[in-house]
Amino acid sequence: MSSSDVDTGIVLRSDCPSRPVFDQIGDKWSVMVMAVLLERPSRFNAIKRRLEGVTQRVLTQTLRRLERNGMIERRVLPTSPIGVEYSLTPLGRSLREPLGQLYDWAVARADEIRAHQLDYDRRLQS
Amino acid sequence: MSSSDVDTGIVLRSDCPSRPVFDQIGDKWSVMVMAVLLERPSRFNAIKRRLEGVTQRVLTQTLRRLERNGMIERRVLPTSPIGVEYSLTPLGRSLREPLGQLYDWAVARADEIRAHQLDYDRRLQS
DNA sequence: CGGTATCCCACATGATACTG
DNA sequence: CAGTATCATGTGGGATACCG
């Protein structure tokens, strides 16, 4: 897959070290949460308000997973009532470049992909 | 997320045009199938043999989805018994660059991520 | 060879209610 | 405010058997 590992086969193994990253990226809210935190560190409900449709439970799960993977940091604020601020770690911020490239590609090709989908679905009807 | 859309909010919408791409990449076998086809066009069972653990049913599903998104092409060979060859389309091949960048990042950071996971899990015990 | 057809289960996601 | 607890459900993935 990479410029140097195209034919090594490492990417072909289910336990390839890149799996955790691809899995994290594949889930529904992770990338959007990181996009929010890329703008500025934010508190739980602030993130929730930016992500229309996410539930408390699912947002918590997403944040925990990102935290476990070292992408974000959780900081309890000494306020009353207590507040919790989430922010990207240097590791999480460093994901911005490759993820941005992929995002740009996806947006640039979105119409082409959509056309393929419609064409494929239309063929099934006939 | 992208260099130009960091704060536009488009990436924050569930119907962001980049979703199909992130979803496809997130699933278990898609990236590996594309890695195989990046080396050379291959027939169904040839792909299956390279991907230890995948079942016929799931490989078929993966190939259909990639085909629907315009990433790969399916060609029936006029042999006996019939053969089917899958290959990357130009669109699919163009995904190699951004995906390779992400893959390189993931591999380079794998140890760091693993360390964070272990640390996180250890904290839960105590 | 390259598939479908069934059945099944685990897990991601979600709705709702409750709490320190 | 920022969760946890509980219950429900849809879908991805897998095992197995059969087919043109």
Domain extents for chain A?
3-94
Instruction: In whole angstroms, give the CA distance from residue A85 to residue A44.
Output: 7
The minimal CB distance from A35 to the residues B11, B95, B112 is found for B11
Helices (H), B40-85: 44-50, 56-68
Interchain pair A101, B103: CB under 8 A: no
Sequence-distant (≥ 6) Cβ neighbours of residue A103 within 8 angstroms: B1, B2, B5, B11, B18
pLDDT by residue (tens digit) across B65-122?
999 999 999 999 999 899 999 999 999 999 999 999 999 999 999 999 999 999 999 9
Interchain pair B2, A103: CB under 8 A: yes
pLDDT surpassing 70 at residue A9: no
Can you give the pLDDT at residue B9?
57
- CB-contacts to strand C (7 A): A 27-29, 53-58, 61-62, 81-82; B 43-46, 56-57, 60, 63, 74, 81-85
Interchain pair A68, B120: CB under 8 A: yes
**Yes or no: domain A3-94 corresponds to CATH 1.10.10.10:** yes
CA of B79 to C1' of C12 (A): 42
CB A50 within 8 A of CB A31: no
